[in-house]
Chains A and B, each alone.
Chain A
Amino acid sequence: MLSEAQIFALLRGTGNTILITAVAIPIGIIFGMILALGRISGNKILQKLSWLYVWFFRGTPLLLQLFIIHFAIPLIALDITGNKMPINAYMSCFIAFSLNSSAYLAEFFRAGIESIDKGQMEASKALGMTYNQAMFHIIIPQSIKRLIPSVGNEIITLIKDTSLASTVAIFDLLRTTKTMSSSTGKWVYYIYAAAVYLVLTSVIQIAFDKTEKKVGIYE
């Protein structure tokens, strides 16, 4: 069974996992929406910039992005400026996970918005609405129901990906149990980790299932 110290260690690890997810998802949603709007806007430069962003952050491993932010950038800054510019391990995680989930969410949002029939935008404009009015009052509200499953999906993926934080010396849930397992030679700790991950992801899954039903009540 778990000792008191081990329970605290597991709780701390779980706390870090939740903390990183809780910071990254709201930032990811806001940034992702901005990127998605840029991608479908008429402005060529905004389109290209959004495309480049998604191309990089979706096309390289999250672990690599985390390494670049935590280890490479301070060394590059040192080479260029001669001054040390350390970056806090938590801050590196917040930045890397937020930037990464923005790229994924941007693509979900874009697909959601584009899935709304063109006639909706045309009708809004015929009624005298501007592009922004039509987008924020007509198009995006309609796309939300379609976005809920993919946002839920992204949160669940992110919860599991927080195990990468261990590479920058943050003890997440998985790392905590791995250490316990390898120092005692017992595999049972992996069951505790699996159980905690399942509890976390179940909460998200159930909450999103419910929201989807509620939002879709008039469809």
Chain B
Amino acid sequence: MKKKLVFLLVFVMVFSVVVVGCTNEEPQDEAKILKVGTDDAYPPFEFHDEKTNDLIGFDIDFGYALAERLGMEIEWIPTAWDGIFNGVNTGQYDAIISCTSLTPDRMESFAMSKPYLANGIVIVSPTDTEPASTIEQLSGKKVGVQIETTSDIAAQKFIADGAKLNLYKYDTIMDAFAALKGGSIDYILVDNSVGGYYIQTDVESFAITSEVLSNEPIGVTMAKGNTELQEKVNTAIKEMQEDGTMTALSMKWFLDDLATNIDEDLQVIE
């Protein structure tokens, strides 16, 4: 009986090794596939179509166009924003295209591309309360942000500088907007492009009520030291800005050209 068991065990082990070996036998052309991490709950940059559930958005269109120009296939890897930067360091994907702002910190820790979209932080107020246009007006209020976004970093900076914000950090920006609509929080700090999109979807509930408070254009994030990919991506972005591809994409999603002549002089709050 014992012998039979041992035999069975050995058989199972050998069998599983063979099976695992087989699945690895067809090596795919790794160099042709660009793996890209994205937080797929961030309209209008990366989210799922309500009817088809396909991954859509400005970044998604940009990603496909970029990959085509690089002569590669793109493979999207949906990842929660919280921890998205770990994946590029550990090599789970080659790049992050997920509305990622250029900041000095990120440029230090990663290979960032040239910006492909202008961006900055704004305050979103519900239409039925007093609109806030300055950070001072947020004092003592409940302010929602998405965790580890530049808005989160900026809010922490405001707090360190003495502003009395009650900060609420959500996993997705959708949760923050749901909380704002339900009244759990009073204001949201968010990228102007995202804020603009949400306001379009619910003009009655939300409004952008401040100037753009920072200049943090959006770029592609790659692992530090991956200069080969970084150079290729930069060339492709430049070409797409020159031939009108970027303008067309920006017009499609934002009804405005935010993708060319981007101010690269960062004004980051951190």
Contact = CB atoms under 8 A, between A and B. Distances in A.
A71 B175 contact: yes
Interface residues of A, number: 24
A116 interface: no
Given A89-B168, A185-B109, A70 B86 contact: no
A205 interface: no
A188 interface: no
Contacts, number: 63
B89 interface: yes
Nearest to A182: B83
Contacts of A84: 182-183
A78 B148 contact: no
B86 A85 contact: no
A206 interface: no
B89 A78 contact: no
Given A167-B175, A169-B169, A182-B82, A70 B181 contact: no
Given A89-B168, A169-B144, A78 B183 contact: yes
B179 interface: yes
Interface majority SS on A: helix, strand, loop or mixed? Answer: helix
Contacts of B68: none
A74 B86 CA distance: 35
Contacts of B148: 179, 182-183
Nearest to A185: B89
A185 B223 CA distance: 12
Given A169-B144, A179-B148, A78 B181 contact: yes
Given A71-B178, A169-B144, A179-B147, A185 B85 contact: yes
A102 to B, nearest CB: 24
A78 B180 CA distance: 12
Contacts of A185: 85-86, 89, 109
Interface string B157-184: 0000000000011110001001101111
Contacts of A182: 82-86, 148
A141 interface: no
A107 B170 CA distance: 34
Given A182-B83, A182-B85, A71 B179 contact: yes
Contacts of A77: 182
Interface majority SS on B: helix, strand, loop or mixed? Answer: mixed
A182 B148 CA distance: 9
A179 B86 CA distance: 11
- Most chain B CB within 10 A, of A75, A86, A181, is at A86
A178 interface: yes
A167 B182 contact: no
A45 interface: no
A67 B237 CA distance: 40
Nearest to B129: A84
Interface in A46-67: none
A171 interface: yes
Contacts of A71: 175, 178-179, 182
A179 B153 CA distance: 12
Contact of A87 (B169, B175, B184): B184
Contact of A70 (B83, B89, B144, B184): B184
Contact of A179 (B82, B168, B175, B185): B82
A86 B181 contact: no
Interface string A68-84: 00110011011000001
Given A70-B179, A86-B182, A178-B83, 17 more contacts: A77-B182, A78-B183, A84-B182, A86-B184, A87-B182, A87-B184, A169-B169, A169-B170, A169-B175, A171-B169, A175-B82, A179-B147, A181-B86, A182-B86, A182-B148, A185-B85, A185-B89
Interface of A: 70-71, 74-75, 77-78, 84-89, 166-169, 171, 175, 178-179, 181-183, 185
26 contacts: A71-B175, A71-B178, A71-B179, A71-B182, A74-B181, A74-B182, A74-B183, A74-B184, A75-B181, A77-B182, A84-B183, A86-B182, A86-B183, A88-B184, A89-B184, A166-B171, A167-B170, A169-B170, A171-B169, A178-B82, A181-B83, A182-B83, A182-B84, A182-B86, A185-B85, A185-B86
